[in-house]
Structure 1
Amino acid sequence: MLKIGSHVSCADKGLLSAANEANEYGSSSFMIYTGAPQNTRRKPIESMYPAEGKLAMKANGVEEIVVHAPYIINLGSYKENTYQLAVDFLQEEIRRTEALEVKHIVLHPGAFTDKDAEFGIQRIADGLNEVLGGTDETEVHIALETMAGKGTEIGRSFEEIASIIDKVEFNQRLSVCLDTCHIHDAGYDIVNDLDGVLQEFDRLIGLERLGVIHLNDSKNPAGASKDRHTPIGSGWIGFDTINKVVHHEALAGLPFILETPWIGKDAKTQRPMYEVEIALLRGNVAERFGAEFLQEVEELHSFFAKQELDSRQYVLDVWTLLKNDAKAKKADPREPLERLYDQVMNAGLFPSLSEQAVNHRLIAWLAGKQLLVNA
């Protein structure tokens, strides 16, 4: 079964809450934090309802989940107190991950700040040696995440990831988390040459190192080094490429985790698109949403066809306009999905549907006509 899910919250009842939320989206995998991602405050692992959560996972058909390390960990820092905090806190997070019986903890490798990349790579490798050496009682793998290249972060190329791994003595417990938005923004052409990118990864790192895949579309063209996620199909990568990633034979069996942003006009009522994204990528939209949903997506195809609007070209044209024309962006900063939603609302197409429901149908429309054939 395709292991695909989303990043979900552990609020309220911890792992049980996360399992129930993930199930609402139709997830067969998911990713969590063991506590807040921006601080070191942690509740005892027992308070996360681990036993109840695992029972819910089993009932929902979820075999594998992933933990994400807190963002405050920076093994690349030259500041001794920041570095030591990163080492100590990551060791504790690994033990918490082990207690939850999770294999992979995803880690942003770190940033070199006021030094240089060579320093950062060595510093991160030194930190990983400390962390792994101090947690040798566990089987948890640290999945180094590929990064987009913003600021001074390390991991923006396969070469940097490979260099870190080569410098770590205990690297048998290092894996890699491949993020589609990040590698796209770092300059890897997964849209036109996905096979070539994976072959390059295999040559430099080895596909056997892959432990997790993060699925995200991007608000920016390849090589932009920005790291700004957008729902599947509404960015520069597009649904077809993400779908090829999910079903690529070289990536079979890995957990695929959506980190796409919640959307909506009102920040208080924004909702994720996980449910429709998962169904589209799994290919069970009709089963998940029903025949009426497909009919309404067909209505969208007819509506936009009358305007001679091609979904893929429209998305790229809007992002290009927002990127290159400051005056136009100031006059109308709406992103592609927002503009499409407004067109649907102004036409009075689906007056009884909620904003979330309309956006679900727009995401399905962005996936293309083939959806209706394969549904």
Structure 2
Amino acid sequence: MMYIGSHLSISKGYEATVRQAISIGANTFQFFTRNPRGAKARKLDLDDIRIADELCLEHDFGPLLAHAPYTYNFASNKDKTWDLAKNLLKDDLARLSYLNSCKYIVMHPGNHLGEGIDYGIKRIAEGINYVLQGKENTMLLLETMSGKGTEVGYRFEQLRGIIDRVDYSEQVGVCFDICHVYSAGYDIVDNLDGVVKEFDEKIGLHKLKAIHLNDSQHELDSRKDRHACIGEGSVGLDGILNIINHPSLKDIPLFLETPNEAEGHKREIKLLRYGCNSL
């Protein structure tokens, strides 16, 4: 079964968000754990969460994906920023433990702010080790990045470097962002098999748990993070269909991150389901 959804707001509660996902033809969705550019989180409503979980089971939903706020920076050399990231992730994991339908939380690894990639890798791993206790029921996913600025995690070996330094590495996986990977220089259009093979060799396909589904406004190796709607960018509809139908990728949950509102995502979900069924 294809699990596909979009990024939706939980401002009206989890039950309302599950119902919105159903209305656009989705059978999963991604949501921010809290204000994406702040630290404030909505108050937990356990009845709302219970009903949402029941709806997900009733409608055969795949695993939901929580997205950490952009205020996380596990690679920062500033202790105040680093401590904030650790404390927010710890709190997010505790809150997500009540939502059985959510199996993963994805975060941007961080920005080293001029300290260098090696420093960033070690700093991120040290921060994750502070948080993870090995008992979490929500897996932490590191997102593949585009390589803009001082981002860490735009090469597969960088993500592997972080994972290898985490004590409970079985609790850490990867979210493959199509736009980011393409912008970072991985040719998923003309050499998809090669990219998949390299990912498997450097990280392991067993670590790949989610795909951020988007097109790219810029060309290969641009190091620019500009998402495009499905089929309207340099990856193209055929390129995206090839990715989501690849034998090694076709069963991984898909989460739209395109510059669209809910109705636009509804059209994209329909397009992708039809495209997959027509191949």
Q: Which residue of 2 aligns with 1:306?
A: none
Is 2:55 aligned against 1:56? yes
Question: Following the alignment from structure 2 to structure 1, what is the Cα–Cα distance between the partners of residues 46 and 103?
Answer: 20
Residue 128 to residue 162, structure 1, CA distance change in 2 (3 Å): same
Q: Which residue of 1 aligns with 2:270?
A: 279
Question: Following the alignment from structure 1 to structure 2, what is the Cα–Cα distance between the partners of residues 166 and 51?
Answer: 36
Secondary structure of the residue aligned to 2:29 is strand
Q: Which residue of 2 aligns with 1:116?
A: 116
CA deviations 1:162-187 (Å, max 9, x no partner) are 11111111111000000000000000
Secondary structure of the residue aligned to 2:30 is strand
Q: Which residue of 2 aligns with 1:157?
A: 155
Give, as a single letter, the amino acid of the residue that structure 1 aligns with 2:72: I
Question: Following the alignment from structure 1 to structure 2, what is the Cα–Cα distance between the partners of residues 34 and 46?
Answer: 14
Residue 271 to residue 53, structure 1, CA distance change in 2 (3 Å): closer
CA deviations 1:122-179 (Å, max 9, x no partner) are 100111111113xx33222110000001110101110110111111111110000000
Q: Are 1:261 and 1:272, in contact at CA under 8 Å, matched by a contact in 2? A: no
Give, as a single letter, the amino acid of the residue that structure 2 aligns with 1:113: L
Question: Following the alignment from structure 1 to structure 2, what is the Cα–Cα distance between the partners of residues 112 and 69?
Answer: 18
Q: Are 1:16 and 1:48, in contact at CA under 8 Å, matched by a contact in 2? A: no
Residue 59 to residue 271, structure 1, CA distance change in 2 (3 Å): closer
Contiguous gaps of at least 5 residues in structure 1: 263-269, 286-370
Return the TM-score normalized by structure 2.
0.95
Map 1:127-146 → 2, pairs under 5 A: 127-133=127-133, 136-146=134-144
CA deviations 1:243-270 (Å, max 9, x no partner) are 11111111232210000002xxxxxxx6
Question: Following the alignment from structure 1 to structure 2, what is the Cα–Cα distance between the partners of residues 9 and 43?
Answer: 11
Q: Which residue of 1 aligns with 2:193?
A: 195
CA deviations 1:177-226 (Å, max 9, x no partner) are 00000000000000001111000000000000001110010000010011
Q: Which residue of 2 aligns with 1:2?
A: 2
Q: Which residue of 2 aligns with 1:125?
A: 125
Secondary structure of the residue aligned to 1:28 is coil
Question: Following the alignment from structure 1 to structure 2, what is the Cα–Cα distance between the partners of residues 36 and 24?
Answer: 24
Q: Which residue of 2 aligns with 1:364?
A: none
Deviation of the 1:34 alpha carbon: 2.6
Q: Are 2:24 and 2:262, in contact at CA under 8 Å, matched by a contact in 1? A: no
Residue 271 to residue 54, structure 1, CA distance change in 2 (3 Å): closer
Q: Are 2:125 and 2:166, in contact at CA under 8 Å, matched by a contact in 1? A: yes
Q: Which residue of 2 aligns with 1:105?
A: 105
Secondary structure of the residue aligned to 1:42 is coil
Q: Which residue of 2 aligns with 1:301?
A: none
Deviation of the 1:35 alpha carbon: 2.2
2:244 to 243, 246, 254: 246
Deviation of the 1:57 alpha carbon: 2.2
Identity over the aligned pairs, expressed in percent? 38
Higher relative contact order (CA 8 A, sep 6+): 2
CA deviations 1:53-101 (Å, max 9, x no partner) are 1222233331321111111000000001110111111111111122112
CA deviations 1:31-67 (Å, max 9, x no partner) are 1123221111123322681112122223333132111
Question: Following the alignment from structure 2 to structure 1, what is the Cα–Cα distance between the partners of residues 224 and 155?
Answer: 14
Residue 116 to residue 284, structure 1, CA distance change in 2 (3 Å): closer
Contiguous gaps of at least 5 residues in structure 2: none
Q: Are 1:217 and 1:234, in contact at CA under 8 Å, matched by a contact in 2? A: yes
Residue 219 to residue 40, structure 1, CA distance change in 2 (3 Å): same
Q: Are 2:215 and 2:230, in contact at CA under 8 Å, matched by a contact in 1? A: yes
Q: Are 2:63 and 2:104, in contact at CA under 8 Å, matched by a contact in 1? A: no
Q: Are 1:146 and 1:178, in contact at CA under 8 Å, matched by a contact in 2? A: yes
Question: Following the alignment from structure 1 to structure 2, what is the Cα–Cα distance between the partners of residues 239 and 272?
Answer: 19
Count of aligned positions: 278
2:208 to 207, 210, 224: 210
Secondary structure of the residue aligned to 1:67 is strand
Deviation of the 1:284 alpha carbon: 7.5
Q: Which residue of 2 aligns with 1:38?
A: 37
Question: Following the alignment from structure 1 to structure 2, what is the Cα–Cα distance between the partners of residues 123 and 223?
Answer: 26
Secondary structure of the residue aligned to 1:103 is strand
Question: Following the alignment from structure 1 to structure 2, what is the Cα–Cα distance between the partners of residues 104 and 47?
Answer: 19
Question: Following the alignment from structure 1 to structure 2, what is the Cα–Cα distance between the partners of residues 260 and 147?
Answer: 16
Which structure carries more helix by proportion?
A: 1
RMSD, aligned CA: 1.8
Which consecutive segments of 4 or more residues in structure 1 shift more than 3 A?
none
Q: Which residue of 2 aligns with 1:317?
A: none
Q: Are 1:9 and 1:17, in contact at CA under 8 Å, matched by a contact in 2? A: no
Residue 225 to residue 231, structure 1, CA distance change in 2 (3 Å): same
Return the TM-score normalized by structure 1.
0.71
1:237 to 235, 238, 241: 235
Secondary structure of the residue aligned to 2:255 is strand
